[in-house]
Structure 1
Amino acid sequence: MGEITYVQGDATVPSVKGTKIVAHVCNDIGGWGKGFVLALSRRWPEPERAYRAWHRGRASNDFGLGAAQFVRVEPHVWVANMVGQRGIRTGSKGVPVRYEAIDAALGRLAEKATELGASVHMPRIGCGLAGGKWSRVEPLIVERLARRGIAVTVYDHEGGRS
């Protein structure tokens, strides 16, 4: 308890029994089309549809930095769309990742995982296109999930680190 398991593989194909949540970080502008979301969309169309509808309805829902949306894609598999990056490009305001938003979304993920009795599976969230550093994201995952007894597996795709 309290640790993350690291494996080589595809986070969209968790190979454990029981209920699973595949978690990833989204941006706050409704963009879906690069990075890990492409693998998600190839496997299941529902998370992208739900995310786009959530963004469209943002005037009357909880969409925004730190929010999390849970989409059931198979009887025992859910996808967590976690809004943890501002925009999509590195620019004058720095990288898009927002660690405080990832932290808040991980708190919501912990509640859902506990409710479902689910394990959590993810790539190195916030560290690909969002431009974050794993040394800042990993402690958030340990604190919010692993220390609460939630099994967490982080996937490094094809030997590469994102």
Structure 2
Amino acid sequence: MIVAALGAAIIPKYLPAVLSLSALGFLVSLLYMYLKAPDLAMTQVCVETLSTIIFILAIIKIPQKFKEPMPAGKVMVNFAISAVVTFAVFALMVNANAGMLAPFESFSHYFMDKSLQMTGGLNVVNVIVVDFRGYDTIGEISVLSLAALGVYNLILSRAGKAEGGEEE
């Protein structure tokens, strides 16, 4: 994952950089599978596939090399900002793991106790997804559906131009 992330950040051509970023996303989905979160893995694969298709269709229209080198001062400012953010996230993670921050209390017992009483459902996972987090689930489905329709539309527009349609 580190190699793919570095590749996406430093490869000077767009297509290999997008493929490296895509590889990173698919490796994240494997990490989700290893952590026993197949729902997250499936969502990650869908989103990564769609975003890779969108990126590839978009870069067909742009040059394959970065034209302007970035000034050294701007590189140093960007590096400093990324170093500060990296250090802050690292410090928070170390503090969280060292017990310096109070651990979150589990609230899974609430769902276990209330699922049958409030919804009449016996399958707690389904009750959480459909009843307790229904709006969130509708939002996720909408985003994935709109992304799929957008990719479908891009593919159709490319196919129409390949069959002899004129560009405007």
TM-score (normalised: structure 2) = 0.23
**For the pair shown, which has the larger CA radius of gyration, 1 or 2?**
2
Q: Indicate the structure with greater helix content.
A: 2
More contact order relative to length (CA 8 Å, sep ≥ 6): 1
Q: Indicate the structure with greater strand content.
A: 1
